Amino acid sequence: MHSQQGTLQCQTAQHSTAQHSTAQHSTAQHSTAQHSTAQHSTAQHSTAQHSTAQHSTAQHSTAQHSTAQHSTAQHSTPANNPTSDDLKFQHAFLAELDDKLWQSAEKLRSKLSPADYKFVVLGLVFLKYASDSFNAHKHTLQAQFTDPNNDFYLDPEIFTPEEIAAELGEKDHYLRANVFYLPQAARWDELKNVITLNAGTELPWGGKFNGVSNLIDSAFDAIEQENKKLKFERIARFELEDKYLVQLIQLFSSTDFSQPKFNGVPVKMAAKDILGHVYEYFLGKFAREEGKLGGEFFTPKSIVSLIVEMLEPYRGRIYDPAMGSGGFFVQADRFIREHQGLDPRGKKADISIFGQELNKTTWQLAAMNMAIHGLDFDFGRGAANTFTAPQHLDKKMDFIMANPPFNIKEWWDKSLKGDVRWQFGEPPAGNANFAWLQHMIHHLSDNGKIAMVMANGSMSANTSSEAAIRQAILQADLVEAMVALPAQLFTNVSIPACIWILNKAKPRRGEVLFLDARNLGFMKDRRQRDFDPADIQKIAQTYHRWQQQNGYVNVPAFCYSAELSEIAANDFVLTPGRYVGAEELDDNGGNFAETMQNLTAVLKQQFAQSAELEAKIKANLGELGYE
């Protein structure tokens, strides 16, 4: 805020409500870059504007894309540089918070399926986030208005308490700071104070109380009217008893997100970051609860983190054509903030976010996820099919990160015949894998990169069209690296998966790096494997060293750099295991004949035990009359 906005300075004529008019704080000033679909207009984001050379800060207005753009109420600043002890303390706090909130959310388990109650819980998380951000900025304004040394000081000898209160509620103050403006009917404290009213009681903002579900839905209505890009799933249709919703609201109310403490000690985290974490945690938990269906909206964080670390999306257009709940976008923003001050490319979050999603409710989850993390976005006009109704077909992207559904059979439409996207061949109607890949290649800028998760079969499929497409893409020298992933990384699929890395500006032409990560990671529980940070760094650093030709060496059973001629000799199959070879085992110095003798003795002993057990079983069956 600057002194040039003299409306808040010292004369009555200067401070009238009329002077905070549209003329001063118009929607044109607070461009729809803050809160409307138009913020990513074609004029703002044309291909010409967003060539790699043209991603200047000037193109992405402060309101849109810099880390400074979001107020302290919304963003913790990386300048705080938390120590390792701070981070451990934060993790302990978040673990306890996660457990507390999830246990309470599970009270709805017997009333609703995970597919439904996620909308109730995540909707409340968003309301709490928006209210905390709104209140924090309101307190900031209040401090400015009462400080005689501040440009925005409102002299109480000139202004009445009513005028100051009206100024605190002025919408433009919040929009300018990229904080969601909340009408009274959508403010958490206001809702909390009326949830136990009797039916028919007048509400402070008008209307009558008609149950907690309708109260929450009315809050969603109010937010949507102020923020056209957000859409919420209404919860009254779930017919939940008020008592369950009251319990959840009271739980979130008892948790202080703006001034958090753990064991009585303040935690150095902004409310936005805490609630953003809670939202992501709940998405992951709901995905696990829903099983296969959960994979439609959630990609495991370990895979998202690995892809972001490999692509390093510091600035430019980021696109996900199968975005789910938007995890790649959130992680890209986190990556940039974590690297501020550590890398000259990471000083500004100079990114534009574009996505598409077929499922309407998943689209809504993604929009809420962006809002909670303070990220501007363009997800098109709404949920739509990426193949038949692409929302960003005229745009070129700098980073494309995606985990589309594997091996989709029912995807083809006759309108796709001869589509401009099928540059390397028409994909088979019975499998969409290479349709996804070619759609992404079509969107690449001249220096663009792709990281796409696909089923392992894509690396070696030998149907005529798939093999020909894979060969053509390789011969165009677009494939930069292939990563074989461990089993059980996903909540929803058990088939093996891999990551394709494509790069239009490959530094090592005519070569492909193969990485076999199947033996990395750890079992976080009986069902799911995960990468630890060291695993992610091992893969990403190997890739970057190879790119930069800085200390890279082939490591048997892990990484290998192959020339295209070698890949051609292998029928253009891209399975890393075919290239990296086997691990060189240390000679233990033992005698082979002696080792075999010992193993044979053990085997004979086991055969004898097996025969003895078989005899006992037969005897027991005989006693029961089953010879």
Q: Interhelix angle for 271-290 vs 327-338, to 10°?
A: 140
Mean pLDDT of the chain, nearest integer:
80
Q: Using the structure block, give the residue that is written with the tokens 């077909």.
A: 393
User: What is the rounded CA–CA span in Å between residue 49 and residue 45?
Assistant: 6
592 three-state secondary structure: helix
* Residue 210: predicted pLDDT: 95
Kindly report the length of the chain: 627
Strand partners, 400: 319, 450
Rounded mean pLDDT, 101-125 = 77
475: confidence class by pLDDT, cuts 50, 70, 90: very high
Give the pTM.
0.69
Alpha helical stretches, state H, 146-270: 161-168, 171-176, 188-192, 212-226, 242-254
Task: Calculate ∠ Cα 351-356-357, nearest 5°.
Answer: 135
pLDDT tens track for 540-586:
999 999 999 999 999 999 999 999 999 999 999 999 999 998 765 44
* Residue 483: predicted pLDDT: 97
Buried (b) or exposed (e) across 564-593, using 16+ Cβ within 10 A? beebeeeebebbbebbbeeeeeeeeeeeee
Q: Using the structure block, give the residue that is written with the tokens 């995606």.
A: 402
pLDDT tens track for 372-386:
787 889 999 999 999
Residues 6 or more apart in contact with residue 76 via CB below 8 angstroms: 268, 269, 270, 272, 273
Task: Calculate ∠ Cα 214-216-217, nearest 5°.
Answer: 60
Judge whether 447 and 461 are in contact, CB under 8 Å. Answer: no
User: What is the rounded CA–CA span in Å between residue 577 and residue 35?
Assistant: 48
Strand partners, 561: 513
Rounded mean pLDDT, 162-168 = 92
- Residue 23 confidence (pLDDT) above 50: no
Looking at per-residue confidence, does 448 or 600 come out higher?
448
CA 452 to chain centre: 15
Buried (b) or exposed (e) across 382-415, using 16+ Cβ within 10 A? ebbebbeebbbeebbbbbbbbbbbbbeeebbeee
pLDDT tens track for 406-432:
888 989 999 999 999 999 999 999 999
* Residue 121: predicted pLDDT: 84
Q: Interhelix angle for 360-372 vs 114-145, to 10°?
A: 30
**Structure token digits, residue 356:** 């598409």
27: confidence class by pLDDT, cuts 50, 70, 90: very low
- Residue 9 confidence (pLDDT) above 70: no
11: confidence class by pLDDT, cuts 50, 70, 90: very low
Judge whether 562 and 575 are in contact, CB under 8 Å. Answer: no
User: What is the rounded CA–CA span in Å between residue 170 and residue 8?
Assistant: 12
pLDDT tens track for 179-198:
888 999 999 999 999 999 99
**Structure token digits, residue 273:** 């970051």
Judge whether 520 and 559 are in contact, CB under 8 Å. Answer: no
